[in-house]
Amino acid sequence: MDPMTAVSLASAIVQFIDYSTKLVDAASDIHRSASGTSLENQNIEFVVSEVKALSLRLDPPRTGQPTDDEQALCRLAAECRILSGQILDLLEKIKPKIPKSKRQSVWSAIKTMWNDREMKELGQRLQNCRSQLELQLNFLMRSDTKARLEALAQGAEGDVARLEILQKHVSELRQGVTVTSMSPEFQNLLRDLLGIASEATKREQILTALAFSDMHGRFEDVELAHFETFKWIFDEAYDDHVDGDARPVGKLNDKARFRDIEHDYSIREPFLHWLSAGNGIFHISGKLGSGKSTLMKFLCDHRRVTAELQKWAGQRKLVFAKFFFWKPGSELQRSVSGLFRCLLHDALRNCPELIPRVLPDQWNKVSTSFTQMGVDLHLRNSEIREAFRRLIEYRNLYEKHCFCFFIDGLDEYEETRQEDYKAMVDLLCGWTEAAPNDVKICASSREYNVFLNSLSADRRLRLQDLTGGDMKRYIRNKLGRLDDKVASDLVDTILTKASGIFLWVVLVVKSLRERLEETRDLSILKREIDTLPDELEDLFRYLLNTVSKSARTTAYKTFAMLEALDSSSRNSPDLSLFAYSFLGDYAKDPEFALQTPFPYASMSPDAKKSRIGQARKTLTGSTKGLVEAINGSVKHIHRSIPEFLESREVRDEMACHLQNFEAVDAVSRLLIAELRAEAYTSGTLNRCHCSWVVSRIIIMRTKFRVDCAPYSFLESLGSVLIEHGGPDVTPNPVKGITIEGEIPTVSGGASYFPSFTIRYREPDPHVTRSFYVISPFHISAVVGLEEYVAWKILHDQSILNTDFETAVLVSIVESRLVTNCPGTSTQILESLLERGLSPQTVIHTSITEPDMWTDNDRTFWEDFVLLVALYLEDNGSLEGKELVGKAFEKFLEYGADPSLWLSASPHRQRDLEMRVRRNGKTVLAYRRWMVVPVHPLFTKVGGISFREFVEYLDFDNKESLLGLIDRNMKQQGRTEEGTTQEEHSWERNAEPAFTRGSSSELTETRSWRLNTWFMSINTSHIMTFGLGLFVAAIVPHLWGSIVKYRLNRRY
C-alpha cells in the first residue's frame, strides 16, 4: 500500500471512530433518559417551549389601533412562534417511539446527527429573532423614558436645577433613534420574554443586604425638639405663641431679646460657616442629658442645614447620611460595623449609580444571577469596610459628589479590644483627611478627654452653655397660666439648679406640673425645687422615693422587664402599652396568658382603649416620668436611666422589691397575651408578627435559661398557637425547603428578616409557596434551644409524623451545623438518628438558594455532605469545621454510605455536581448552578471521593472518620480501591433522579450487569480504545510502506 493510500485509510478510520463514538455516546444518553431524549435536547425543548409560550401572549391589543412599533413586535413574535414550532417538530421527530428501547435509542441518535445542521440553522434564526426583539425593546424603552422625562420637565417649571437636569437627559435621548411609545403590558411581556433584569431590582438587592432592621431606630426614638428650642442656631425669630391651651406667661423685653440674639450670633457663626464653606469635623459636646441627640435630630431634619450644605456643594451632588449610636440597643447600633453599614446604605441610596463602583463584586454577582429572584447576598464586615474605603478614596467621584455625615453619640459606641474611642476618632479624621474638600462630619459626644483633645476646639459647641434661653422658654410654656412674677421666680430657680442639663429641667417641670394641681403657693414650690438634687442620678433616686412602696415595686418591675428585652437579643420586640396593661393580670395569675379559654377573648375596642389609658396612668405614676410610652411602646426617656439602674445600691433595692418576680417570664407572657387578644379581636392570627415575637421570646428565655424539662411554657405555647394559627405543616408532598434569611441565634446573631419563614416547592417545579413558622418546636431548633428540641423528639412520638415536618427540622439542623451558629452541637442530630431516622432516608430538602433547586432528590446524609462542599471557602477553610467533623462521624456511625463523589461539571466549571451509587448505578444526586466558579478541589479530573474530601479537610477526628468509611465500605461489599475510575467517571451522563423508597431499596447490588457498565462507560475511554487500535494496526503498516517507498526511489 502506498503512503497516500495509507494516510487516507487512517483518516477514514479516525473519522469512523469519532462518528461511532458520538453515536454511542448519544445513544447511551437517550437510553438512560427518563423522557427518551438527550439532556441537550431536553434543555433546547424547554427553552424553545418557553419562548413559544411567551410569544403567544404577544397578541395585538384588542382596544384601539396598535402602533407601528406594536405591529412590528407582533410580527417578530409571530416569526418566533414559527421557528419555535419548527424546532419542536424536529425534536419530536427525533424522539424514539419506545423510550427504553436500545434499538430505538440508537436510531434516535442517528437521526439527531443527521439533523444536527438543520437544528443549528433553526437555532441561529431563533437567536437572531430574539436579538431583534431586544433591539426593539431598547428603542421602545428609550422612547418611553424620553416621554416620562419630558412630562417631568413640564411639571418642574419652578425648579430650575431639576429642569436643567431633565432637559439634559431629554437632549441625550433625542440623539438616539426615536420611536413611538408602547403600552405597559407590552413592556412587561417583553421583559419576561427577554429575561432582562431591572437595574433598580439589582440595586435594591445590594441596598437590602447593607441595611439592618434598627438602622435608624435610635434616630426615630429621639424626641422631637420642643418648638421653642434651638432656634438660636439659625437666627430664627422666637415665636411668642404656643400650641394648645398653654399660654405664654411673659415675654422677654427688647433689651433681653437683643442680648440673647447677640450672644447667639457669636456662637452660631462658626457652625453656619462650617456648613456653608468649612471642612473637617464639627464637634457638638455636652454634659449627660444636655440635649445633644435632640439637637442632632433637629439639625438632620432642618431645611436650613440642607440649604447651607448646598452652598458648600456648589454644582456637585450633595450626599447626606446620618447614624445615631445607641449603647443600650443592638450590636450594630453600638458598633463601627453598624456605622459603616448605615452610612454606606444611605449614601448609595442617594446615589445608586455609585453601587457598581463601590461594590463591584456584589454588582457582578447580582448581574449574573440566572433568575429574576436574584441571589441572597451576605456582606461581610470586611467587604463593607472596603466598599466604604472606595467611596471615600475614589478621587474621580468628587468631581460630581460631596459627602456630609452626621454622627450622634460617639460616647455610646461600644469599645472593643482592637478599637477604642481614640481609634473611632482617628477613623473619622481619616475620612476627612482623605478628601478634605469633599467629606465633612458633624459629630456629638459627651465631654470625654479623648474627644476634646482629638477634635478642634475652633469647631465646637458646648451645648450646656447655650441652652439657657431654650430652657427658659420650655419652662414658661409647660408651666401654663402663671403670673409673670411667679413664673420668673420659678424659672430662675430651676435654671440655677439645672446647670445646663436639659433632662433635669424636663423631669423637674413634669413633677411641678403635678404639684401645681395641688397648690400654687410660690414659697412651697420654690422650697420643693430647692430640695431637689442637682445631679441626675440623685434626681432619679429622689423621684422614685416620692411614690408609694407598691408603686415603686411596679416601677422596678417595669425596669426589670425593659432590661430583659434590651439584653436578650438585637431587634427585640417592644413592650407596647397594650401588652403592659396585662401586668396586673400576671401579678394575680402568672398562667393567665396561656389559659384556655383566654380571659380576654371577647375584648371590645372600647375596653382595649380603656386598658391602654389606664396603663399609661400606671406607668407615669409609678416611674415618675423615667419611663414613658413613646410611639405606643414603653421605653426609658434617656439612656442614663439604665446606667442609673446598674448601680449596686439600686440593684439591691430592686432585688428586695422583686422577690419571686421573674422579669423574663413576665414579659414573655405579656407579649403572648397581647398576641392572643389581638388575634381574638381581628379574628385571625398575624403569622408574620407572631413568628417574629415567638422567636424573640424563645431567644430571651434561652439566654436566661428559664425553661427546663418538661418545658411546660413551650408545650402550652405550642398548643395555644395551633389553636389560633394552625400547625406548621402542609398536606402536600414537597420537593425543596429553604430557610428565608439568616438564622437568629441566642447569642444575638444576625437576623435581617422579621420572622422565621420557610419556602418550599410543590411537585410542580414552577410552583413555590412559603409560610411563617410559629411552632415553638421548629423555632427552638432555629434559634438554638437544642435541649428542648432533643427532649421533644425523644418524648413526642408524633412530632415527625410527616415527611414535611422531618424535612423542615433536617433543613434547620443542617444549616446550623454548617454555618457554625453559636451554641450549636450535634445533640439534635444524635436525637434524630437515635429516633430511627436513617442517614439513607430520602428527604426532599434543600438549604441552598431557592432559585437553584433541582428536581433531584437526596438523602439526609447526601444533602449534608453537599452543603458542606458548598460552604467551602476558596482558601480551603470551613467555618464550622470541628462541628462538621463530629456530624460526619455521627452519620457514619449510623451507617451512612460514603460512596459519593463531588466534581465540577465537565461541561461547565461553574456547576457543582454530586453523584452517588444506587442499585448498581451512578446517579446524579445534585447539580447546582454556581454564580462563581466552584472550589478548585472539585475540578480534579474524575472528581474527588468522600474519603479524599475528608482527607483534604483534615478534621481533628480524621482517623476515626477514615476508619468508619472503611468499615461502611466493607459492610456494603466493596472497598475504596475496588471502586475503579470507570465506575465513577465524571465524563459520562448519569441517571438524573431516583424515586423515594425504603432504606433496603437504596442498598446497592453487588453484581454489575454488563449493559449497565456499557451504558455508563466514559466517552474518552472509547476514544482511547479506538486510537489504540489505530496505532497497533495502521502505524506499523504505514511505516513499512514509507520505508519501502524510499528504498524503491534509491534503487
pLDDT digits (tens, 9 = 90+) for 935-961: 788 887 778 899 999 999 999 999 999
Residue 618 lies in a domain: yes
Residue 723 lies in a domain: no
Whether 51 and 118 map to the same domain: the answer is: yes
Whether 412 and 327 map to the same domain: the answer is: yes
Residue 553 lies in a domain: yes
pLDDT digits (tens, 9 = 90+) for 639-648: 788 888 888 8
Residue 868 lies in a domain: no
Strand partners, 324: 408
Residue 376 lies in a domain: yes
Nearest Cα to Cα of residue 112 among 14, 45, 13? 45
pLDDT at site 1015: 37
Q: How many domains does the chain have?
A: 5
Whether 488 and 630 map to the same domain: the answer is: no
The order of strands in the sheet holding 460-462 is 317-324, 401-408, 439-446, 280-286, 460-462
The order of strands in the sheet holding 921-929 is 921-929, 911-918, 900-904, 944-945
Distances (CA, A) of 534 to 504, 531, 538, 923: 8, 9, 7, 79
* 717, pLDDT greater than 90: yes
Residue 1049 lies in a domain: yes
pLDDT digits (tens, 9 = 90+) for 389-423: 988 887 777 778 899 999 999 998 988 888 889 99
* 612, pLDDT greater than 70: yes
pLDDT at site 919: 62
CA 528 to chain centre: 54
Whether 515 and 558 map to the same domain: the answer is: no
Whether 606 and 592 map to the same domain: the answer is: yes
The x, y and z cell numbers of residue 338, run together, are: 453598624
pLDDT digits (tens, 9 = 90+) for 160-179: 455 455 455 545 544 444 44
Nearest Cα to Cα of residue 334 among 396, 406, 263, 408? 408
Number of Cα atoms under 13 Å in the Cβ half of residue 55: 22
Indicate the residue among 684, 706, 726 that finishes a domain.
684
Indicate the residue among 412, 428, 463 that finishes a domain.
463
Whether 4 and 90 map to the same domain: the answer is: no
Contact 355, 773 (CB under 8 A): no
**Which class for 682: exposed (0-12), middle (13-18), buried (19 or more C-beta within 10 A)?**
exposed
**Which class for 285: exposed (0-12), middle (13-18), buried (19 or more C-beta within 10 A)?**
buried
pLDDT at site 742: 42
Whether 443 and 322 map to the same domain: the answer is: yes
Whether 453 and 311 map to the same domain: the answer is: yes
Residue 807 lies in a domain: no
Whether 440 and 332 map to the same domain: the answer is: yes
pLDDT digits (tens, 9 = 90+) for 135-153: 765 666 666 666 665 655 5
Whether 153 and 298 map to the same domain: the answer is: no
Amino acid letter, residue 692: W
pLDDT digits (tens, 9 = 90+) for 876-925: 788 788 899 999 999 999 999 998 888 887 766 667 788 887 665 566 66
* 334, pLDDT greater than 70: yes
Whether 439 and 560 map to the same domain: the answer is: no
Grid cell 403635678 is found at 514
Residue 41 lies in a domain: yes
Number of Cα atoms under 13 Å in the Cβ half of residue 936: 4
Helices 502-516 and 468-479, packing angle to 10 deg: 20
- Alpha-carbon distance of 704 to 719, in angstroms, equals 23
Number of Cα atoms under 13 Å in the Cβ half of residue 842: 22
Distances (CA, A) of 568 to 55, 558, 663, 696: 55, 16, 12, 8
Whether 54 and 23 map to the same domain: the answer is: no
Indicate the residue among 443, 463, 483 that finishes a domain.
463
What is the overall mean pLDDT for the chain? 75
Q: What is the 8-class DSSP label of residue 991?
A: B
pLDDT digits (tens, 9 = 90+) for 85-144: 777 777 777 777 666 566 666 777 777 777 777 777 777 777 777 677 667 656 666 666
CATH of the domain at 330: 3.40.50
The parent domain of residue 583 ranges over 549-684
pLDDT digits (tens, 9 = 90+) for 190-231: 455 444 445 777 888 888 889 887 888 888 888 888 777 888
Helices 946-953 and 860-870, packing angle to 10 deg: 50
- Alpha-carbon distance of 208 to 204, in angstroms, equals 6
